[in-house]
Amino acid sequence: MTSFREMGIPFRLFDAPVADARQYMGVRHCTTCAREGHCFNLSLNGSLVVRCGTCANEVALDARRRTGQVCGTCRTQLEFPYPDQNNIATCYRCLVDGKAALTKDTELGMIRHEDALRGITHGIPGLNRTDFELVPLDDDGWVGAKLPPPIMLELLRTPGYTSIQGENWLFCCGGPMIYVGRWSREKFSEMAPDRNGRNFFNQIVRDPIDGLWEDELHDKAEIYVFRCPTCLKYSANWDMY
């Protein structure tokens, strides 16, 4: 199946088939630069990233709600430039150049553009990790993780993956893993070092339940697999209908 790399528009953190990319729209006209190119739908949990005309701070404007936003630095009100357009598209070049951002749900908490700029995830209640510096966020137990802003911004400039109940991007070795796709039992056997797919499944799939490998639940579930760009280990999560 075709990958973004084969299409000439590679993403370091997305090495799955193009069909797995949630926001990919095909060749369209980009809303921001008006050029034709491979585009991604910002109306699916994305934002336009603009510069404040007063202080030049980057501000993310919600493309789904098509609403304005107050600049976090100087408090200038910025209006959404395309309030009547339903599907806001960004081309590959505008996306990787940082003119748009695709919000991610991750195991360290949601990451929005404003979270990436401050270098702390939006957090989750009771987050407990030893491989990241953690930051208490409020009195209700929400905890965020500190990450270098460039790493977080790269993830926001990467397509999300199609899932049943919503993505949950995984991390390893201090940064986001590479999404490599949805794997079947046959794919696990193909990728297993000893061709024992079930053993490989048991090694890399997080918190599996009884029947997830067998026919009882397998056809109702999807297994989402990631590879660490540093240590090259695989890890996977799953959900089901």
Q: How confident is the chain (241 residues) per 10-residue block, as mean pLDDT?
A: 94 98 96 95 94 92 91 92 89 97 98 96 95 94 96 98 97 97 96 95 95 85 97 97 90
Specify whether the CB–CB gap between 225 and 161 falls below 8 A.
no
- The pLDDT of residue 151 is 97
| pLDDT digit string, tens, across residues 137-173 | 988 999 999 999 999 999 999 999 999 999 999 999 9
Q: How far is CA 30 from CA 25, 40, 69, 95, in A?
A: 11, 9, 22, 10
Using a cut of 0.85, tell me whether the model's pTM lies above it: yes
Sign of the Cα pseudo-torsion (103, 18, 23, 33, in order): positive
DSSP character for 93?
H
Domain boundaries, the chain: 23-102
